[in-house]
């Protein structure tokens, strides 16, 4: 059983690593698209010696709108691919644990999650492209010169600081949503909180890991924690653990396995 647990944890780590690589690739592609668009826009404006400043502003707005649509389309396509991969990974993981393939996922629910997540990321990207557009517009109106680094670097830094965290968290949250759905279909209603107990762990996660030995909680106990304030970040703890970029999660576990680890359920107390 211990060997099986180790194998399962290795599979979960592989899923997590694949997710992180896909997230990094998406962010890198977005940054590249923004940089390319800014450079092409500046070159086009500098070569245009005929148009008035107002006409140039209109052109910038048009280019910005096209870029926003292109980025939103890219984000949606990538999220669809990632979410399909998450579903397959969870199917394979549970199959490896000896469970038969369970009921299909509610497509309406998954589509709603996809739409919400894509919209959230797209709105952030829209804010970034708006900042670039406004900066370009100010340069045109004041007759100044374009500083490409000043235009691009702040946006790149914001993407690295905010969007990476957001995309990673949304990907992980969707994966956990699929995981919970599978657990529900299989009748699993207790969860083990797993993840590192180190100096980087949030106080919330450290408490969940150490308040019980083993750190196994019923769905009712998890709901009580949620009702008492949860992780303090406004994200459901069952799906997102300690919050943004959390390295911990609630993993469903069979009652027999939990009792074997020392868990006592309500019936045993």
The confidence score (pLDDT) of residue 268 equals 53
Confidence band (pLDDT; 50, 70, 90) for 226? Answer: very high
The confidence score (pLDDT) of residue 236 equals 93
User: Of 187, 204, 227, which residue constitutes the final position of a domain?
Assistant: 187
Of all residues in the chain, what percent carry a pLDDT higher than 90?
A: 31
Residue 158 scores a pLDDT above 90: no
Mean pLDDT of 2-18: 72
For the chain, the domain total comes to 2
| pTM, two decimal places | 0.80
User: Of 149, 164, 187, which residue constitutes the final position of a domain?
Assistant: 187
Residues 39 and 122 in one domain: yes
Mean pLDDT of 201-218: 94
Residue 257 scores a pLDDT above 60: yes
Distances (CA, A) of 66 to 38, 63, 153, 195, 236: 12, 5, 21, 42, 35
Of all residues in the chain, what percent carry a pLDDT higher than 70?
A: 91
The confidence score (pLDDT) of residue 6 equals 65
Residues 15 and 109 in one domain: yes
Reply yes or no: is the peptide bond before residue 214 cis, omega within 30 of 0.
Answer: yes
Residue 104 scores a pLDDT above 60: no
Residues 114 and 1 in one domain: yes
The confidence score (pLDDT) of residue 156 equals 80
Mean pLDDT of 38-53: 88
The confidence score (pLDDT) of residue 11 equals 76
User: Of 187, 217, 236, which residue constitutes the final position of a domain?
Assistant: 187
- For residue 230, what are the domain limits? 188-269
Residues 11 and 43 in one domain: yes
Among the listed residues 198, 181, 126, 188, the one whose alpha carbon sits nearest the alpha carbon of residue 155: 126
Average pLDDT over the chain, rounded to an integer:
86
Residues 177 and 238 in one domain: no
Mean pLDDT of 222-247: 92
The confidence score (pLDDT) of residue 206 equals 94
The confidence score (pLDDT) of residue 75 equals 93
Residues 228 and 170 in one domain: no
Alpha-carbon distance 205 to 208, whole Å? Answer: 5
């Amino acid at each position: 059983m211990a060997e099986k647990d180790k194998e399962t944890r290795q599979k979960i780590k592989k899923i997590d690593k694949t997710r992180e690589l896909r997230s990094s690739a998406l962010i890198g592609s977005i940054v590249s698209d923004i940089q390319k668009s800014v450079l092409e826009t500046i070159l086009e404006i500098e070569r245009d010696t005929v148009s008035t400043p107002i006409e140039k502003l209109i052109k910038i707005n048009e280019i910005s709108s096209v870029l926003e649509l292109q980025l939103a389309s890219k984000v949606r396509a990538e999220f669809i691919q990632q979410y399909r991969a998450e579903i397959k990974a969870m199917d394979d993981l549970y199959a490896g644990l000896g469970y038969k393939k369970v009921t299909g996922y509610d497509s309406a629910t998954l589509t709603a999650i996809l739409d919400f997540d894509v919209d959230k990321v797209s709105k952030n990207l829209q804010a970034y492209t708006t900042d670039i557009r406004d900066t370009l517009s100010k340069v045109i109106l004041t007759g100044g010169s374009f500083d490409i680094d000043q235009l691009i670097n702040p946006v790149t830094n914001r993407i690295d600081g905010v969007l990476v965290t957001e995309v990673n968290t949304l990907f992980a949250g969707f994966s956990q949503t699929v995981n919970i759905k599978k657990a529900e279909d299989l009748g699993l209603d207790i969860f083990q909180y797993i993840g590192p107990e180190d100096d980087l762990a949030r106080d919330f996660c450290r408490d969940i890991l150490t308040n019980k030995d083993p750190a196994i909680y019923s769905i009712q106990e998890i709901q009580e924690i949620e009702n008492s304030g949860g992780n303090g970040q406004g994200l459901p703890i069952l799906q997102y653990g300690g919050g943004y970029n959390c390295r911990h999660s609630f993993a469903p576990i069979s009652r027999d396995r939990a009792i074997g680890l020392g868990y006592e359920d309500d019936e045993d107390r």
